Amino acid sequence: MQIILYGTRGSIPVCESEYRQYGGNTTCIFVRVRDCIFILDAGTGIRNLGKELAKCKKTDCPNVFLGFSHFHWDHIQGFPFFLPAYDNSREFTITTISREAKFKNVKNIFKTQMRKEYFPIPLEKMGAQLNFLYEDSDNFSVDSINITTAEHNHPGGALSYRIEANGKSFVFCTDVEHGNSYDERVLELADGADLLIHEGMYTKEEMIDREGWGHSSWQQAIEVAKLAKVKKLIITHHDPDHDDKFIRKQEKLSKDLFDDVEFARDKMEINI
């Protein structure tokens, strides 16, 4: 299982020089298992991912699925700039896997995003065949790859994902507010995972003034990793006000609390 992070920033992209080490693109994760590709979220990072996928032959990546944690702006704003979606020889399955009715009409979300008031090209004119699939279940399987989701606490709702294949497991959990305890749904989903990518937008000190904002501290991400007994932790969804110097300091502190932890960087690659 190959995992590449194309976007690791939360809320809004940043591009100043002091953000170059960890990157400034908003959330987008590439996962490849054999000839199946899963793209989780379509923040601005999907633009660079799209340029790379456009170089590949369709036969090299015949099955491409786009899944979403939720549909806040920083998780969909890159979609209109996803180059392969303008190639009429390509086909994509855009899916949500959830029993929650609020996520059913995904096509309408993207049609609205690409109305003429917001973008010059409407969704139906992009070119590629876009198949919108709603799975009224918490589980979905394709080519012996199992995807499980769990809803977690975030304004408007959000989903965590677990992808399992070949005896390995990867969990993605972003935009989650645990509060005074840890969300049991997240702990169950992350149990024993080889890799957990969990948001840690704030420090525990910053969280005092951010109750109800829908996010976690990086210290909470570490506690989730400990409780779920995951092997490796990547902390992502960095606050746009946290520059490289600030994040380096937090990353150094985090290594005293968990054996295998890193703070996410754009283009970071992990193989499990």
pLDDT in tens, 4-46: 999 999 999 999 999 999 999 999 999 999 889 999 999 999 9
Distance CA 81, CA 200 (A): 27
- The topology (CATH level 3) of 2-271 is Metallo-beta-lactamase; Chain A (3.60.15)
Q: What are the residue ranges spanned by the domains of the chain?
A: 2-271
Distance CA 50, CA 126 (A): 14
Tracing tokens 């994760």 back to the chain, one arrives at 29
Indicate if the alpha-carbon torsion angle 41, 13, 232, 154 is positive or negative: negative
Q: Of the candidates 56, 129, 140, 152, which has an alpha carbon nearest to the alpha carbon of residue 97? A: 140
Average pLDDT of the residues of the chain: 94
pLDDT score at 126 = 96
pLDDT of 133 > 90? The answer is no
pLDDT of 217 > 70? The answer is yes
pTM: 0.96
Kindly report the backbone phi and psi dihedral angles of residue 90, in degrees, each rounded to the nearest multiple of 5, phi listed first: -105, 160
Mean pLDDT along residues 189-211: 97
Residues comprising the chain, all counted: 272
Q: pLDDT band for 100, please (50, 70, 90 cuts).
A: low
Q: pLDDT band for 101, please (50, 70, 90 cuts).
A: low
Half-sphere exposure of 186 (CA within 13 A, CB side): 31
pLDDT of 102 > 70? The answer is no
DSSP symbols for 164-204: EETTEEEEEE-S---TTS--HHHHHHHTT-SEEEEE--B-H
pLDDT of 52 > 80? The answer is yes
Indicate if the alpha-carbon torsion angle 105, 130, 77, 26 is positive or negative: positive
Q: pLDDT band for 134, please (50, 70, 90 cuts).
A: confident
Question: Residue 32 is encoded by which pair of tokens?
Answer: 């490849």
pLDDT of 103 > 80? The answer is no
Mean pLDDT along residues 150-176: 95
Distances, alpha carbon 48 to alpha carbons 21, 68, 91, in Å: 17, 18, 19
Percent of the chain with pLDDT over 90: 86
End-to-end CA distance of the chain: 5
Q: pLDDT band for 63, please (50, 70, 90 cuts).
A: confident
